[in-house]
A and B are shown apart, each in its own frame.
Chain A
Amino acid sequence: MPEYKGMVQPVRATPDEMRKIHIEPVPDEEKPQKALEYLDEIRKKFRSFVLAMESCTKCGQCAENCHTYLGTRDPNNIPTNRAELIRKIYRRYFTLEGRWFGKLVGAEDISLDIIEQWYSYFYQCSQCRRCAHVCPFGIDTCEVTFIGRQILHWLGITPKLHASVGAAMERVGNHTNLPKPGIVDTLEFMTEEIMDEFGVEVEFPVDKPESDIMYIPSSADFLLNPYTLMGAGMFFTYIGANWTIPSTVTEAGNFGLLFDQYYTQRHNVMRLLNAAQDLGVKKIVWGECGHGWRAAKMYIPSLADRPVRWPITHIHDEVADMIRKNELKLDPAKNSQPVTLHDPCNYVRACGLNENMRVIMRACVSDFREMEPHGMDNFCCGGGSGILFDDPEMYQRRIQLSQKKADQVRATGVGKNGDGILCAPCSICKAQLYPMVEEHELGVEVKGLIDLVGKALVWK
């Protein structure tokens, strides 16, 4: 079913689901015209988009540097060709050369088929920005697929996964529909687990007024990543912080970045600022979530509708700072398995977390092996931008998209004895890699970075 003229496509949200997130789907026959209108409006606003449209020379360097192209060898998955899907329309309607020379310069009329092509290929892009990183000009295809997805959203074409996350964000303030009682129960369970395993007393205060620090965990941690929650709780307890988790925005992610930067993303920012004000906090500390950290660190300043009174840092920044100041007692021997680090794209190419993650890694594990390439040059896990679709066709595609990562992990040899750790400190990376390390039989367990900090802390 999720296929259109031979192209894979994620399952899309129904018209009713779109209405839940305030979009009235545009009828098919009006879609091409409306798409042009939206494109015209948006191109006049974003210079990053205009330049991606107008100054690519097609040198082809991005091709071999895109994990999606490497995994699928589909020419439309070459970053510049992915952008070309929109560029050919842009040329045709918004440039003189496109109007005069047409096909010769690669200009094309808009049609429903083109829009369906956008849907297929813009949701195979992980928006990892590796192409921007390697492009001689710095052209950011991520900006193109952001805008392509935005236009699709306004037309009423959004993956079911993204739309249901958008609805959940508006309903309860997190991606997974976690209500407060569920949050509290899970955190109490974490308290018990920490006592059982580490013998320390850790409490997770929820909505505690007059807290100094507001910690924003990823809601996926509450379902899938217990050690990430435990690690954060243990860290804040260890340092004696007056901290709390807000139940109104228990979400480090912000899928708005990935499909609707106008309403959904902004709405979530307001929730966050409201929570910070209500709880009277002094600082906001972010949990492990790649796109969410980018959305917070780089987009809150331009999305907030009021002055942002709270400094916002990432928990890795804070842990690394304390390690540098020698304030934490950590025992790397407590994490003695071989560990390699998968750099979440948004951390290293959009948020500058590269070095801090390594400071933590070196302090917390005894056998750390870098994969190649690593840091800012690292490849995406293949799930980036929330393309965690699980229908059979798209799931097969996810396996292809993670091929490069599998090759990288294998080359480090950490999984040789079946006891390796693949540290992937981002919820999307974790959700993608949990099944993928099995599919590719890598012999590693997927963990966050705060997970390893929690384990390495020396309490006495």
Chain B
Amino acid sequence: MKLLIGQILPYITVTLFTLGILYRLGRWAGARIVHNITLSPWLKSNTEVAIRIGAEAFLFRNLFRFDLALWAGALLMHFALLNILGGHVVGFGFLGEQFAFIPGISPELSKEMSDLLGTVFGILLFVALLYLLYRRVALTPVKQVSNPSDILWLVYLLVLVGVGNIMRLFHAVHVEYEMVRDYILALILFQPVMHMELLDNVFFLTHYLLVQVLLILFPFSKLMHLFGMFAERWIVNRVYKDPAPGLPNVDVAAARRAGIGLPSGGAAEEGV
């Protein structure tokens, strides 16, 4: 069992995750942007397009404009998630000493900072997920649009994040950064695996397994909205330039001088 989860499954996971996403993106690319369905007011340059898509993707501009509570919850959730994902990479990669690259910060301080940030974002992420779950079950319209899977995903993430938080908060079940780093490195380099004893920690085992299942399901789930955001925005937010106004052979001043339309004036002759 440990062998399966610790040494075989990771390769399957990465393969399915990658191929699944490529399959999904390929499907999207196969269909075309048939008609111009850009939303107006128009964006006038590619810089404006980049700013708009950036504001939507990273600041959730529309949620901010139309539903502040949802914006706060969603942004907090995604911001915390982003930090946690980044934290996993640098935390394990540099063993918590990543901040020591900043002049004036000692490796010890960096470790403490790393711990603190990880803890804080872990808790924030958990709270934000709870809020999103609350919306799904308590707000009528959100409840009405939810499928069972929408709620299940939130519960799944809550368990996943909850287990992660437990490892961080309770010293008895804490995992050593160094062991995890060496274990992952060995996996990546296709070397004989080390530190399989990590998986004796039932919390680590659960956390690790849940992450792998999540990655396998990712391409076949709503989590694809990560890519959908950019693909959809690329359709509705693009540069459009209006055709120039101006009517052929029209000279308003001359027409008014000639009194066109006035009963006493001359008849509307061509080109007047």
Contact = CB atoms under 8 A, between A and B. Distances in A.
Contacts of A354: 40-41
B170 interface: no
Contacts of B248: 212-213, 282-283
Most buried by B among A50, A60, A69, A105: A60
B190 interface: no
A340 to B, nearest CB: 20
A101 interface: yes
A54 B28 contact: yes
B42 A134 contact: no
A335 B141 CA distance: 43
Contacts of A135: 62
A267 to B, nearest CB: 16
B35 A299 contact: yes
Contacts of B268: 201, 203, 237, 240
Contacts of A101: 149
Given A45-B34, A58-B222, A311 B244 contact: yes
A358 B268 CA distance: 30
A101 B221 CA distance: 11
Size category of the binding interface on chain A: 35 or more
Nearest to B229: A137
Interface string A282-312: 1101000000000000110111000000011
A58 B243 contact: no
A58 B150 contact: yes
Interface stretch (A216-224, A320-328, A424-432): A320-328
Given A60-B135, A134-B62, A241 B247 contact: yes
A200 B149 contact: no
Given A60-B135, A200-B262, A239 B247 contact: yes
Contacts of B165: none
Contacts of A234: 261
Nearest to B74: A59
A450 to B, nearest CB: 15
Most buried by B among A101, A137, A240: A240
A79 B247 CA distance: 41
B211 interface: no
A165 interface: no
Contacts, number: 247
A136 interface: yes
B106 to A, nearest CB: 42
Interface stretch (B7-15, B85-93, B191-199, B233-241): B233-241
Contacts of A376: 40-41
A140 interface: yes
Size category of the binding interface on chain B: 35 or more
Contacts of B32: 45-47
Interface string A143-174: 10000000000000000000000000000000
A334 interface: no
B246 interface: yes
Contact of B145 (A48, A84, A132): A84
B147 interface: yes
Given A50-B28, A138-B236, A240 B252 contact: yes
A53 B135 CA distance: 23
B260 interface: yes
Interface stretch (A10-18, A345-353, A360-368, A407-415): A345-353
Nearest to A301: B36
Contact of A78 (B60, B145, B229, B250): B145
B269 to A, nearest CB: 9
B249 to A, nearest CB: 5
Interface in B85-142: 135, 139, 141-142
Contacts of A203: 268
B247 A285 contact: yes
A311 B39 CA distance: 21
Nearest to A48: B235
Contacts of A452: none
Interface string A22-63: 000000000000000000000111111111101111111101
A50 B26 CA distance: 12
Nearest to A325: B252
Contacts of A350: 37-40
Interface in B19-77: 24, 27-42, 56, 60-63, 65-67, 70, 74
A242 B225 contact: no
Given A97-B221, A136-B60, A59 B249 contact: no
A307 to B, nearest CB: 15
Contact of A59 (B40, B70, B259, B272): B70
A365 B233 CA distance: 38
B229 A302 contact: no
Can you list the 5 inter-chain pairs with the closest CB atoms, starting with the nearest?
A: A55-B228, A240-B255, A106-B147, A63-B141, A321-B245
Given A51-B231, A59-B74, 6 more contacts: A48-B236, A56-B222, A58-B146, A138-B232, A283-B247, A349-B40
5 contacts: A54-B224, A63-B141, A138-B56, A241-B249, A299-B36
